[in-house]
Chains A and B, each alone.
Chain A
Amino acid sequence: AQSVTQLDSQVPVFEEAPVELRCNYSSSVSVYLFWYVQYPNQGLQLLLKYLSGSTLVKGINGFEAEFNKSQTSFHLRKPSVHISDTAEYFCPSGGSNYKLTFGKGTLLTVNP
């Protein structure tokens, strides 16, 4: 069975600082990886996805993530965050079926 571990439950940073949100997955089969963002009191919005091909994936709002198969990681990065990036972030994994396995999420708080 797949599992996802988001290594930090909360990440506080200052505006314009870089940020990395860490995500590890465990799977013995082909895996598809996603990052979603959830702004307060809203649904989940897709930031980026890794299905195959290049291991560096660029998403919306200046975010990118790198798939590292040997370390089973898919960390999310942004070189300079804004107040508006304050949100909860999820990195579910999917296998060859429809199911997504979610981690517990990381709350990113950007302070002025």
Chain B
Amino acid sequence: NAGVTQTPKFRILKIGQSMTLQCTQDMNHNYMYWYRQDPGMGLKLIYYSVGAGITDKGEVPNGYNVSRSTTEDFPLRLELAAPSQTSVYFCASSWEPTSRKTYEQYFGPGTRLTVT
């Protein structure tokens, strides 16, 4: 199993440009997540999905959009890139939590994005 894969690894955008960060998992997980990591700030949840066709906002959704047409894929879209979106982006996936148990999240290798 490849686990969670992300492309691209690195990207430089100009202000106002758009791009899509790709995320794919091969573990048949229903739950998928997008985080951003800024230096010294830990990880912040941008968007999450509990299954194909179902997405919702996390803690820092402004400036981003997501879609989930398949179980495997969960792309993150930046429409009008701004310098504040310079960050490292991580995609993660997990099994569906139950009322009695939650599960660890599996993380991809990340995409390092610079907006100038």
Q: Which residues of A does B touch, CB under 8 Å?
A: 9, 32, 34, 36, 41-46, 49, 51, 90, 92, 94-100, 102-105
Count of interface residues, chain B, beta-carbon cutoff 8 Å: 27
CB of A101, distance to nearest CB on chain B (Å) = 9
- Residue interface bits B27-62, CB-to-A below 8 A is 1, else 0: 000010100000011111100101000000010000
The 7 lowest CB-CB distance pairs between A and B, nearest first, are A102-B42, A43-B107, A44-B107, A102-B43, A43-B109, A104-B42, A32-B102
Q: Report whether over half of chain A's contact residues are helix, strand or loop; otherwise say mixed.
A: loop
CB of A37, distance to nearest CB on chain B (Å) = 11
B97 with A98: CB separation less than 8 A: yes
Closest to A34 in B: B104
Residues in chain A near residue B102, CB distance under 8 A: 32, 51, 94-98
A43 with B90: CB separation less than 8 A: yes
CB of B93, distance to nearest CB on chain A (Å) = 11
